[in-house]
Amino acid sequence: MLWFMSQPATPAAAAKAEERNIENGADLLKLFTGSYVEHGKVLPMPLDNARAAVAVAHAHGQLAFAHESNAQGVRVAMDSGVDVLAHAADTAEDVDETMLRAIVAKHIALIPTLKMFRTTVTMSPTYLDPIYAQIRRFHELGGDLMFGTDAGYMTEVGKAGDLKVLDGDPTDNPKEFASVRYTIRNGIVIWRRP
């Protein structure tokens, strides 16, 4: 597994790893800016390494996603210039109002990934409620929420969908996320651009 997930020791190595990923057909960059290394312990990615990888992704017109896990991981993600947080920080206690406002101000989108937390971690309210509160407040502050998950093994067949239909491909231009053609809620078109 470590062969597939490079762990570069320097910014130059991080940039080289991202160039290699792009050469091998990667469509986007996903950094583990905060990774659990043991139960309850998150190791943040070195900021300079994250910045170098994001710079390469952006130079190639690709989006950069971050798996952040906690407030330290969120800081690395924000300061490195990522475009999307792949899920809410599940060690949520240090993700405060100031941090959420900073994420919104930097126009970083968030994929809540709530089903993954409920399904693969625990259904305990003690764990889930702070995550829900974080996402709720991010949304109240005007943050952009995106549909999706970084866990492709879960489906929701038969559920009514909420989604946005975009005019263009955000992998070509991240501003396409703001170019909405339709908004669908519970399987019904509720907004259509004139």
Domains and CATH numbers, the chain: 11-154 (3.20.20.140), 156-194 (no CATH)
pLDDT (tens digit, 9 = 90+) per residue, 16-48?
999 999 998 988 999 999 988 888 888 899 999
Which of the pair, 1 or 95, is modelled with greater confidence?
Answer: 95
Beta strands in 12-136 (DSSP E): 29-31, 34-38, 41-44, 64-66, 84-85, 109-110
Tens of pLDDT along 120-169? 778 888 889 999 999 999 999 999 988 766 555 555 666 666 777 888 88
On whether the CB atoms of residues 159 and 148 are closer than 8 A, the answer is no
Q: Is the pLDDT of residue 1 over 50?
A: no
Closest CA to 76 of 47, 111, 103: 47
Nearest to 143 by CA among 93, 108, 168: 108
**How far is 75 from 167, CA to CA, in rounded Å?**
31
